[in-house]
Structure 1
Amino acid sequence: MHLHFRAVTMENRQQAESLSVFPERMHFIESVAECLKEADETTEWNTVGIYNDDILIGFAMYGYFQTPLPNGEAWLDRVLIDKTYQGKGYGKAAVFLLLKKMHEEYACNRIYLSVFDKNQLSIHLYKVLGFDFNGEYDAKGERIMVYDFK
């Protein structure tokens, strides 16, 4: 496994938009096209393709927001591994690499994400990686989890 990220650009956007999850997981995450549209409208979001060597296997969206003051917040907003590549350990490895990337890119010691209560597979993954619930909910009613670098 040799995972790395490439920014989503006009050259790989269509390929990224073709990524999908199994039907039973669709209500937990927006499509890549919806994510990219949101990122086009909000400059704080960064979008990347998740690659294993030269094969696009997934997508992620993350960003840093200046508010709340004084320090702002870094958010890992979306992580999607294409259904063809699910169950092979790519999700765990990709989130771990994204945490490292965000820590370096934003010089932050805390990263947030939100997840639906019914998304037990993702909750398990995030807990294994060291995320904990902070008792808060986002505007969509998802529970917020926090990762603290030690």
Structure 2
Amino acid sequence: MFTEIRDDFNKEEILALRIADEQEGFIESTLECLQEAEHDRRFIPVGLYMEDTAVGFAMYGMFPHEKNEQRVWLDRFLIDERYQHQGLGKHFLELLVRYLTDRYHCRQLFLSVYETNTAAIHLYKKFGFVFNGELDENGEKVMVKEIHKHDNDDSH
């Protein structure tokens, strides 16, 4: 389950989420993400929950691209260090891909990742994301997943 973060209802537990030390620099803190979402309302921040416990965070949205195109981005995705290595990254990525595909009726999903973040790249590739040759404004490599109608029926 994931819950949109737009008020103080669950903000404190989201701010308490931490990544492992070796992941520092791969993703902004949840505080930075929430501040960015407050400034740019196209970003939709969500807490990732197992029962009533916040175990992760994601942020997504639809953004303009060239030639009047729109791109759906899974812009941030993290699992708290206390809950890593339990299959939750895979579980929540699958839920998010399905949700974003249904919500936006999109044919592609985009994300970006630093090339040194090999664990994330490995996970994203398992879900069909491939590098498209682009870099984002932070120098991260852009990955895209082509959405096919049967993707919502696949299990990974």
Identify the match of residue 3 of structure 2 among 3, 6, 14. Answer: 6
The CA distance in 1 between the partners of 2:98 and 2:71, in whole Å, is 15
Q: Give TM-score scaled by structure 2 length.
A: 0.91
Identity of aligned residues (%): 41
**d(CA) in 2 for partners of 1:45, 1:109:** 19
TM-score by length of 1: 0.95
Residue 154 of structure 2: aligned partner? none
Unaligned 5+ residue runs, structure 1?
A: none
2:98 maps to 1:126: no
- 1:83 deviation in Å? 0.6
d(CA) in 2 for partners of 1:68 and 1:35? 25
Query: What is the alpha-carbon distance in structure 2 between the residues aligned to residue 62 and residue 34 of structure 1?
Result: 14
Aligned equivalent of 1:136: 134
CA distance in 1, matches of 2:66, 2:45: 22
Q: Which runs of 5+ in 2 are unaligned?
A: 149-156
Does 2:99 correspond to 1:101? yes
Runs of 4+ that moved beyond 4 A: none
Secondary structure, aligned partner of 1:133: strand
SS in 2 for 1:28: coil
**Cα distance in 2, alignment partners of residues 43 and 108 from structure 1:** 20
Q: Which amino acid aligns with 2:143?
A: M
With over 3 angstroms needed to count, the CA separation of the structure-2 counterparts of 1:67 and 1:135, relative to structure 1, is closer
Q: Within 5 A, what are the aligned runs for 1:1-150?
A: 4-8=1-5, 9-150=7-148
Backbone CA RMSD of aligned residues? 0.9
